[in-house]
Structure 1
Amino acid sequence: MSDLEIRRTRRTDIPAIVAMLAHDPLGEQRESPDDLTPYEEAFDRLEQDPNQHLIVAVRAGRVVGTMQLTIIPGLSRKGATRSLIEAVRVHDDERGNGLGTRLMEWAIEESRRLDCQLVQLTSDASRTDAHRFYTRLGFTASHVGFKMAL
């Protein structure tokens, strides 16, 4: 893994990220890699928000993983700051090599560095492999999540 770089996303990384987001049963229903305009607009919003950390993992000049870390200040838990991990993806040909673990370790360490007291994430109910992965990393399934499409 010494040849792996984890860094902030650049605009030029967007096509590779969107391709990874679209390359699974859930993503193929909700992503549109043929039109990058909405992703570029979202990237611009993310870049302007200091609490958003869109990250890529790069090996040999190729984007092979991505994730988003959001820092959320709050009043609950005695004013605790928490981080939220979302959109974790690893390219198919990189799975099983520890890259997902490296991305998660980066997110946890960055959360500590930013004085977060809690790291949280959600995972679609159908992603049972991901649930086992998060459990192995020390996360516990502690809540039931709800979403509403607007």
Structure 2
Amino acid sequence: MTLTMRPATRAELPAIVALLWDDETARHREDPREPLDPRYLAAFDAIAADPNQILVAAERDGRLVGTMQLSFLPGLSFRGAWRMQIEAVRIARDVRGQRLGEQMIRWAVDQARARDCKLIQLTSTATRTAAHRFYARLGFVQSHVGMKLHLRD
């Protein structure tokens, strides 16, 4: 049950938005109805145009079953080291529990190593304790307290 990870295409955007929506923490903020909100299209175009961003499509047997966004960030900390930010990791509901997320994260770690990143960071909603256990099993440690300021809807 190997996954193929690659940059997502614009044609896959409706399926990716549906994956984002199919999460208990995101149903109130995502809208998978078609036609898609033009803001999704603009965001996709910006991500696709930026060499430090990858919107990942995880495919198995020709079907999109997962997604995540990888952002490569320069910084002055750690003597000017780069870091990777992992966001919006999602697996299709009917294939959860098959270790596909583990394959995705391990692939992301390989991408960070290939770009000589010093560290990988991610955030997870505080109530998602199963996700926290998943990331801990893969070697991530809770090291910081995250905060957000929502500016508008």
Q: Which residue does the alignment assign to 2:71?
A: 70
Compare 90-99 and 33-42 and name the one that shifted more: 33-42
- In 1, Cα distance between equivalents of 2:103 and 2:23: 21
- In 2, Cα distance between equivalents of 1:49 and 1:75: 20
- In 2, Cα distance between equivalents of 1:125 and 1:138: 18
- In 2, Cα distance between equivalents of 1:62 and 1:138: 29
Q: Which residue does the alignment assign to 2:51?
A: 50
Q: Which runs of 5+ in 2 are unaligned?
A: none
Letter of the 1:56 counterpart: A
Q: C-alpha displacement at 1:60, in angstroms?
A: 2.3
1:111 and 2:106 are equivalent in the alignment = no
1:146 and 2:122 are equivalent in the alignment = no
Compare 129-138 and 91-100 and name the one that shifted more: 91-100
Letter of the 2:8 counterpart: T
Letter of the 1:14 counterpart: L
- In 1, Cα distance between equivalents of 2:77 and 2:58: 33
Q: Which residue does the alignment assign to 2:88?
A: 87
Q: C-alpha displacement at 1:17, in angstroms?
A: 0.7
Percent identical pairs in the alignment equals 53
Q: C-alpha displacement at 1:100, in angstroms?
A: 0.1
Letter of the 2:29 counterpart: R
Q: Which runs of 5+ in 1 are unaligned?
A: none
Q: Which residue does the alignment assign to 2:15?
A: 16
1:34-87, Cα deviation, whole Å (9 max, x unpaired): 251211110000011110011011122211000011000110111111000000
Q: Which residue does the alignment assign to 1:129?
A: 130
- Pairwise CA RMSD of aligned residues? 0.9
Q: Which residue does the alignment assign to 1:28?
A: 27
1:92-124, Cα deviation, whole Å (9 max, x unpaired): 111111100000001000000001010110000
TM-score normalised by L of structure 1: 0.96
- In 1, Cα distance between equivalents of 2:113 and 2:14: 30
- In 2, Cα distance between equivalents of 1:21 and 1:8: 16
Letter of the 1:92 counterpart: R
TM-score normalised by L of structure 2: 0.94
Structure 1 runs (4+) deviating above 6 angstroms are none
User: Match of 1:14, SS?
Assistant: helix
